[in-house]
Amino acid sequence: MLPTASTRQPATGGSVSLAAQFMATRQLLETLLEPLSEADATIQSMDDASPAKWHAAHTTWFWETFLLRDRAPEYRLFNEDFPFLFNSYYEAEGDRLLRRNRGLVTRPTLADVLEWRAHVNEAMLPLLDDPAHADLVTLGIAHEQQHIELLLTDIKHALSKNPIGPAMWNTPQVAKPQQEDGWISHPGGIARIGHQSDGFAFDNEGPVHRALLEPFALSRRLVTNGEWDAFIADGGYEDHRLWLSDAWAWLDRCNIRKPLYWHDGEQFTHCGWQERDPDAPVTHISYYEADAFASWAGARLPTEFEWEAIARGQDTPDSDAAFNASAGNQLDHAAPPQPVGTSELFGDCWQFTRSAYLPYPRFAPAEGAVGEYNGKFMAGQWVLKGASCATVRGHSRASYRNFFYPQQRWQFTGLRLAKDL
């Protein structure tokens, strides 16, 4: 999780200072809290999700713990109880609140947490421009960007459990389907995989290594709601031949017959229940469903290496120029995220690969508590590539590895087909 390379060149744009990035990220999270009531920001709708207030607090705990406590000798903890309440999963940082009880922390209030945020922001200011801390500051910004995406997907899940389907915003995004059909082919060969530039990356994106690819093609576009309707109409959820054994048991146990948030012709969004656009990318599907759909479609999911090779654009004769990781439908400001359909590789939905989330050759986690960031989750999860409509623009890159368990669906997950050539 520590930056693998110099961060003198800011990852998210040549001329933006770390201090400015820090403040922009901190501000974005707080702006997202504005449409939420004290209660909205407090509840937790399942173990996988966290309250919005908790995200606001945990990201602040991160700065306080890894920067201020360790590197600002004068700094005093804002509140002695907060480390216990807002540590997420860092065993090295001691005991912590049970994950499933995060929604019972009504005190401190949201106002208390915002005050803590302001306090920490002020204390951080002197450290932001010191190159000695640049690596950790860059990491902290990336960490907070991840929690911005989780805040959005977690609150969406929480609001969806309310039978009246409340809206966080009232301005649904209009779909503008621009997805081009067709395939981007790749001749295969040895690809360089993993983070290779001077910018920041998480530890799980390295070390750089070689991967051998066979000739393949990746779809130019994401699978759509309309195609998913056809999969359902064709009995996709009832045909055992399409499903992994674990998936088939999951369908039965959880009575799954459609993507999360679907009901008749509508889907639940941050703007409440909305009509579903058949041309927009399908989202909120599990790995199990993505895999079964690909089988039904006579295709397959790409490997993470294939996806990355296409994203880099090197040695991909008939592809477009290398894809820009900052183009596409991503998050720029506090607005309702929703997949709309573009021709970009990064954006709309995270895209499932058929690659298990495992360490790259010679991978070693960072020393200390920050070493718990990624490596300990390398079991039982799948890699997703790209970015989603809820990903802060500038956060992702070709080597980025997102990861989830195969039954999880509350993220903006989708799929892009691949095939052998």
Residue numbers at the binding site for a second copy (CB under 8 A): 37-43, 45, 81, 84-85, 89, 91-92, 97, 101, 103-110, 158-159, 161-164, 166, 190, 209-212, 214, 240-241, 243-248, 287-288, 291, 354-356, 358-359, 361-362, 371, 376-380, 406, 420
> What SS3 state is found at 258?
coil
Closest approach of Cβ 253 to a second copy, in Å?
13
> What SS3 state is found at 414?
strand
Nearer to a second copy, 132 or 212 (CB): 212
- Taking CA atoms, 227 is separated from 339, 347, 415, in Å, by 15, 19, 12
Closest approach of Cβ 73 to a second copy, in Å?
27
Closest approach of Cβ 69 to a second copy, in Å?
20
Nearer to a second copy, 159 or 280 (CB): 159
Nearer to a second copy, 78 or 243 (CB): 243
Burial 158-169 (b: 16+ CB within 10 A, else e): bbbeeeebebbe
Query: Kind of pairing, strands 382-386 and 402-404?
Result: antiparallel
Q: Is 260 exposed, middle or buried (0-12, 13-18, 19+ CB in 10 A)?
A: buried
Nearer to a second copy, 164 or 233 (CB): 164
Closest approach of Cβ 245 to a second copy, in Å?
4
Nearer to a second copy, 223 or 292 (CB): 292
DSSP string across 177-190: --PPPSEEEE--EE
Closest approach of Cβ 181 to a second copy, in Å?
24
CA distance 395 to 145: 7
299, two tokens: 């295709």
Nearer to a second copy, 273 or 343 (CB): 273
Nearer to a second copy, 38 or 332 (CB): 38
Closest approach of Cβ 106 to a second copy, in Å?
4
Name residues whose C-beta falls within 8 Å of residue 98's C-beta, 6 or more positions apart in sequence.
none
Closest approach of Cβ 314 to a second copy, in Å?
17
CA distance 157 to 144: 20
H runs (alpha helix) in 34-65: 52-62
Nearer to a second copy, 119 or 279 (CB): 119
Query: Kind of pairing, strands 272-275 and 266-269?
Result: antiparallel
CA distance 95 to 321: 49
Closest approach of Cβ 364 to a second copy, in Å?
10
CA dihedral for 147, 154, 293, 250, sign (positive or negative): positive
CA distance 213 to 225: 30
